[in-house]
A and B are shown apart, each in its own frame.
Chain A
Amino acid sequence: MLHITCPWCGPRDDNEFHYGGEAHILRPAAPEKLSDGEWAEYLFLKQNAKGPFLERWSHSAGCRQWFNVVRNTATDEIIEIYPMGELPKSPEGIKAYEGNWRRQSAAEKNAKAGVSGT
């Protein structure tokens, strides 16, 4: 069983939480500019890393807040917990963020182009 430390409530068992899957997937700002293949990549393809993985959790049976977690999916060790809207600070987290194929994807470039100025 995972023991997750909610940033607001402290350590709790994993059945108090709801899993939100991979973190930092940006929604394309102009989807009509993407090809079917690029859209499929955004919508369906997964990072599914074995090792440090960036993911979202919500403390659904507690404070109901969302937050991000860096967890090693090979060992289930939780490496870092950080707020929504921020990027990881641990070396493992930074490497996992930068090494993710999504950073080079057309969908992410499209999303970033759309939110310039924010």
Chain B
Amino acid sequence: MKGSANGMRALRGGASRYSIFALARNALSYHENWQKAWRSPEPKPEYDVIIVGGGGHGLATAYYLASVHGIRNIAVVEKGWVGGGNTGRNTTIIRSNYLWDESAGIYEHALKLWEGMSQELNFNVMFSQRGVLTLAHSEHELKEMRRRVEAIRLNGIDSEVMSPAQIKQLVPIIDTNPGIRYPVMGGFIQRRGGTARHDAVAWGYARAADDLGVDIIQNCEVTGILRDGGKVTGIETNRGTIKAKKVGVVTAGHSGVVASMAGLNLPIDSRPLQALVSEPIKPCIDTVVMSNAVHMYISQSDKGELVFGAGVDSYNSYSQRGSIPTVEGLLAAAVELYPIVSRLRVLRTWGGIVDTCPDASPIISKTPVDGLYFNCGWGTGGFKATPGSGHVFADLIARDEPNAIAAPFSLKRFETGYLIDEHGAAGVAH
């Protein structure tokens, strides 16, 4: 992929819309006259490409279809509001330190796009490369971690082992006492990893796609996928029929539901994944720390809230509510590893429905229906992939052929047995 293929064209018309002067001017009118970031058009009767699902992945797909592939007659249809699914519910951890070459390919492709995203979209997505540290709590985890670090480095991705003393220096609030139930025995860090503002990613892609003529249609739920002789011809929605030459489905936890509309079954279970934030406090942790053994990870938002994530709930559900024992387990681990949090109050908890795949790797694939493509299975950790996923999915839809990065993630892998097993030490983590 050449630099120019990343869609810098979007910048061409890009006057800087938000400035200190605009802020002052709009303050005078009580901030009631800001221009809309994107239009709210009525659906046209027909599009070249319809993207189902207005999360980060769907919006990024539409943006790259327009900016890289020059396709302009595109709609993104979203049953709720843009970014209201997992994109707006996730804990925004971004990293590319995966074990297998195939995963390194897609996640590192994404990380490189993150590094230029704010410029490309002319929208501050607050990408902060504050580092992502993963802890090891047992002799076995430590050994496995060392092996992983070498594998990751062989793929040209930054990765370093850290000793408990170095970890204590980086994260002063952590308890490195060897006597605790899950002692900190070491860890590994990807310093180029970090966090970003989730809503800004959805809004930035939505605005940039809209600028290129993409219709973003919210409150539009897809209820059927129209086919004719094994080829897709459009979609049925609560706002009527919309025809399309190609349809790309990017609906995360609801992928199975949409697939069944086309008579397809997927290797996906939909489960709640929960997170919570504390009341805001002064800055006390300036990196991300994950711990797979105790199913817990922590970071601090710019507002000062400590952001905690848990492991995925054990049973299938679409209710967007998780189980309390999962939150209790997360908090028990948090209090033991970071004793200062014991006196904090929880501000809010929430859940999203994640699309878990048997090998914990995504599906970016053609289907047995011509012109129908699926991008799903990102499970607990797809936010980090948002730009890369959109970029290669757009390429798949435009060319009807996967590129080298996307090819391993085809649905065919379940038939050939070529699984990309990323459970390992990354099993729970994000």
Contact = CB atoms under 8 A, between A and B. Distances in A.
Interface string A1-20: 11000000000011100110
B325 A13 contact: yes
B311 to A, nearest CB: 13
Interface stretch (A36-44, A83-91, A110-118): A36-44
B304 interface: no
Contacts of B268: 46, 48
Interface in A47-94: 47-50, 53, 55, 73-76
A48 B256 contact: yes
Given A13-B325, A50-B257, A74 B319 contact: yes
Contacts of B415: 36-37, 40
A31 B416 CA distance: 16
Contact of B256 (A18, A43, A44, A46): A46
Contact of A41 (B254, B265, B316, B321): B265
A14 B272 CA distance: 14
Nearest to B272: A76
Interface in B357-391: 358
B325 A1 contact: yes
B265 A101 contact: yes
Contacts of A41: 265
A19 B415 CA distance: 26
Contacts of A49: 256
Contacts of B325: 1, 13-15
Contacts of B129: none
Contacts of B265: 41, 45-47, 101
A37 to B, nearest CB: 5
B414 A44 contact: yes
User: Interface majority SS on A: helix, strand, loop or mixed?
Assistant: mixed
B269 interface: yes
B269 A36 contact: no
B319 A44 contact: no
Contacts of A45: 265-267, 414
Interface of B: 254, 256-257, 265-270, 314-319, 321, 323-325, 358, 414-416
25 contacts: A14-B323, A15-B323, A36-B416, A37-B415, A40-B414, A44-B267, A45-B265, A45-B266, A45-B267, A45-B414, A46-B267, A48-B266, A48-B268, A48-B269, A48-B270, A49-B256, A50-B256, A50-B270, A50-B318, A73-B270, A73-B317, A73-B318, A74-B318, A74-B319, A76-B317
Given A48-B270, A74-B319, 11 more contacts: A14-B323, A48-B266, A48-B268, A49-B256, A50-B254, A50-B257, A50-B270, A53-B316, A73-B318, A76-B319, A76-B321
Interface of A: 1-2, 13-15, 18-19, 21, 36-37, 40-41, 43-50, 53, 55, 73-76, 101
